[in-house]
Structure 1
Amino acid sequence: MNKTIIVIFLLMGLSTTYAQNWQTDFSKAKEIAIQEDKPIILVFQGSDWCIPCMKLNKEVWSTNTFKEYAKEHYVMLQADFPRKKKNTLSEEQQEANAKLFETYNKKGFFPLVVILDKEGKVLGETGYKKTTPVSYIDEINAFIK
């Protein structure tokens, strides 16, 4: 019994060690970016309906390679637009995401990855590509001067 509890706690610790620290508040993301001198990676996604968004999450965002790198080099900001009722965001979050959408995703692409400087100026954009996490990091970094 005690061994089981220890194993569970160890596994919980491992899963949180690599947890992606996604921000959902643009102001807070900018504050962190300024404080830590990092660019912001703004991701527009439809987490429960957009197949390329789900693939990007599985193939890049959720990998340990990307998570470890991002933790040290980026502020990750998520603007999610789920469609299923069970995944509905708070009204406040929906409004915040809509404002980001109006400003940074005028063409309505999903997924859209917008690379911003710490002040919120657009440095570049990309989307889903069938690639490795390292290649995706390289692509993001190509926009960052």
Structure 2
Amino acid sequence: MVSVFLKSLLFFLIASPLAAEWTFDLEAAQKTAKEEKKAIYLVFVSTDSSGACQQLERRILSSEKFQSQAEEKFVLVKVDLPLKKRLQKESHQRMLDLAKRFGVGGVFPTSFYLDARGRPFYQENGVLSGGPEKYAVHLLGILQKRETRDEGLKAASKMSGLKKARALVDLLKPLPDEVVLNFYSQQMDELAKLDPEDTLKFRKEKVIGKAYADFEDAVKKVFHKDSYDQVVTLVDEFIGKHAPEGDLKQKVLFRKLAALNHGGNLEPAIKVADEIISIDEESSHGRFSAQIKEKIMKRLGR
């Protein structure tokens, strides 16, 4: 005879919804999302180094209330990228590759909302206030942005020429550079045909944006090794290939100025400082360059 306790336990297990399981496998998540007609919630955290991520994990992501409500419309994917310790080489590299694909740098937590094809339609950083139920409601509200994007793409498909190009730019502009280039290549190809001279300057902006992120990664890898000549080479190559203007050119040249200054190449450093200042002496990089130049001049006794 089944005891009253066992009957009660059995009823509880049947009646209570099981919390969703987080996965790290984005491809599997896309398959599930297609089958169940859901979106994907992808969150990048680093719980071994970020207090905000630890708070998000403890307060929200591990909550059964959050998971059970969010899974009604989302497949849940979490990438916990350790910065202080290393996982097995293969797993760690997969995480790094995924973070790079989505343009995730050093800002954690970063959340992406994807359609079943894996295309992001919204991205946000940080931790929202409120408990797990409020957080789940927030996620469900974000789905409206997917509908807005889809309606926008449908409307753009009926347009032509620069009007269509502008409509596509309005839809893609809020998304990170890496996301646009990696997940919206079809729309970028359309823009190349609709606006071959890039009069809207959108394609160049996105390509340069991604190239600059790669440039910064490359500079960081060699700068701390005192490889200042390599930094100068990276700067010259970037400027030669992408011809940046304004603020971006100042930022790139500032890396060269820092490398020359640290390496003791003071005369060339003065010339680079002057070039940065000539672009915009009132900008932060313009002012910093003027200060560095003044210190160099004092070192040279001028």
TM-score bin, normalised by smaller chain: 0.7 to 0.9
Is it true that 1:142 corresponds to 2:141 in the alignment?
yes
User: Which residue of structure 2 lines up, in the alignment, with residue 110 of structure 1?
Assistant: 108
Q: Give the 3-state SS of the residue equivalent to 2:113 in structure 1.
A: strand
The structure in which a higher percent of residues are strand is 1
Which residue identity lines up with residue 48 of structure 2 in the other structure?
D
Structure 1 pair 107–91 and aligned structure 2 pair: CA distance change class (3 A): closer
How far is 1:103 from its partner? 1.8
Structure 1 pair 28–101 and aligned structure 2 pair: CA distance change class (3 A): same
User: TM (normalized to structure 2)?
Assistant: 0.39
**Long gaps (5+) in structure 2:** 1-5, 148-302
Higher relative contact order (CA 8 A, sep 6+): 1
Q: Give the 3-state SS of the residue equivalent to 1:135 in structure 2.
A: helix
Is it true that 1:129 corresponds to 2:131 in the alignment?
no
Partners of 1:39 and 1:78 lie apart in 2 by: 14
User: TM (normalized to structure 1)?
Assistant: 0.77
User: Which residue of structure 2 lines up, in the alignment, with residue 29 of structure 1?
Assistant: 29
How far is 1:74 from its partner? 1.4
Compute the RMSD of aligned alpha carbons. Answer: 2.3
Which residue identity lines up with residue 115 of structure 2 in the other structure?
D
User: Which residue of structure 1 lines up, in the alignment, with residue 216 of structure 2?
Assistant: none
In the comparison of the two structures, how many residue pairs are matched?
Answer: 130
Which residue identity lines up with residue 122 of structure 2 in the other structure?
G
Q: Give the 3-state SS of the residue equivalent to 2:44 in structure 1.
A: strand
8 Å CA contact 1:113–1:125 kept in 2: the answer is yes
Deviations 1:99-139 (A, max 9, x none): 22112134432001111111111121223122222222222
Is it true that 1:42 corresponds to 2:42 in the alignment?
yes
User: Which residue of structure 1 lines up, in the alignment, with residue 57 of structure 2?
Assistant: 57
Q: Give the 3-state SS of the residue equivalent to 1:43 in structure 2.
A: strand
8 Å CA contact 1:105–1:112 kept in 2: the answer is no
Q: Give the 3-state SS of the residue equivalent to 1:22 in structure 2.
A: coil
- Write the mapping of 1:83-94 to structure 2, written as runs, cut at 5 A: 83-85=83-85, 88-94=86-92
Which residue identity lines up with residue 130 of structure 2 in the other structure?
T
Which residue identity lines up with residue 110 of structure 2 in the other structure?
L
The structure in which a higher percent of residues are helix is 2
Residue range with higher mean Cα deviation, 68-77 or 22-31: 68-77
How far is 1:19 from its partner? 4.9
Structure 1 pair 48–20 and aligned structure 2 pair: CA distance change class (3 A): farther
Q: Give the 3-state SS of the residue equivalent to 2:107 in structure 1.
A: coil
User: Which residue of structure 1 lines up, in the alignment, with residue 71 of structure 2?
Assistant: 71
Structure 1 pair 19–135 and aligned structure 2 pair: CA distance change class (3 A): closer
Partners of 2:20 and 2:52 lie apart in 1 by: 19
Residue range with higher mean Cα deviation, 23-32 or 89-98: 89-98
Deviations 1:2-58 (A, max 9, x none): xxxx9xxx9xx8xxx755411111111111111111111111011211110111111
